């Protein structure tokens, strides 16, 4: 019996050491990140707004389901980065409530310049080789999902994972 318990603990720690979403869920004043069995639920609920030239830009609060096995994640202003194995990345630009008009969600092709403008700061922070920040990786797909206000970039996603990532990205909901 003791042998089986040790094996289970080893398997748990090895699998958890490679992803951040197998521990306790995160609940703060501005983020709820709930690690569920088949996906993760991310809720952003910030009360901090931006001000420029006496104009207030209201934060867009939202919820979104994300794939399991997140290797790392980062929030920078209204940009969100969720990284998976082999540099598969879900990037979200949430904008501000009074910026842009939300419409029908569409899937759009990407190009290297658009990807670079969205991911270069994250890429630099992670000290990744800039030459790898390009489209056209064999067996990988990169596309934008946008409603005109929010942009979600599914970057470098393995073909066999793309439909799952896209379905989860389509779960995006605006919150009041």
Question: What is the reported pTM?
Answer: 0.85
- Number of other residues whose CB lies within 10 A of the CB of residue 89: 24
Rg (CA), the chain: 18
Domain count, the chain: 1
pLDDT band at residue 130 under the 50/70/90 scheme? confident
Are β-strands 173-175 and 40-44 bridged in parallel, bridged antiparallel, or unpaired?
unpaired
Give the model's pLDDT for residue 31: 94
Give the model's pLDDT for residue 109: 93
Is 4 within the bounds of a domain?
A: no
Give CA–CA dist 77/146, Å, rounded. 19
Residue 65's domain comprises: 20-175
Is 149 within the bounds of a domain?
A: yes
Is 67 within the bounds of a domain?
A: yes
Is 3 within the bounds of a domain?
A: no
Is 6 within the bounds of a domain?
A: no
């Amino acid at each position: 019996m003791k042998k089986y318990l040790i094996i289970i603990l080893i398997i748990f720690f090895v699998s958890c050491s490679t992803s951040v979403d197998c521990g306790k869920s995160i609940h703060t004043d501005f983020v709820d990140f709930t690690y569920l069995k088949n996906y993760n639920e991310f809720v952003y609920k910030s009360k901090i707004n931006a001000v420029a030239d006496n104009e207030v830009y209201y934060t867009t609060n939202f919820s979104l389901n994300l794939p399991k096995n997140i290797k790392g994640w980062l929030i920078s202003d209204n940009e969100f980065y969720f990284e998976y194995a082999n540099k598969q990345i879900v990037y979200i630009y949430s904008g501000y409530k009074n910026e842009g008009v939300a419409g029908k969600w569409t899937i759009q092709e990407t190009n290297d310049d658009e990807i670079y403008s969205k991911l270069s700061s994250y890429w630099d922070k992670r000290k990744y080789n800039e030459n790898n920040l390009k489209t056209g990786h064999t067996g990988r797909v990169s596309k934008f999902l946008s409603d005109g206000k929010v942009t979600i970039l599914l970057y470098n996603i393995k073909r066999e994972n793309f439909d799952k990532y896209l379905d989860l990205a389509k779960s995006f909901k605006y919150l009041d």
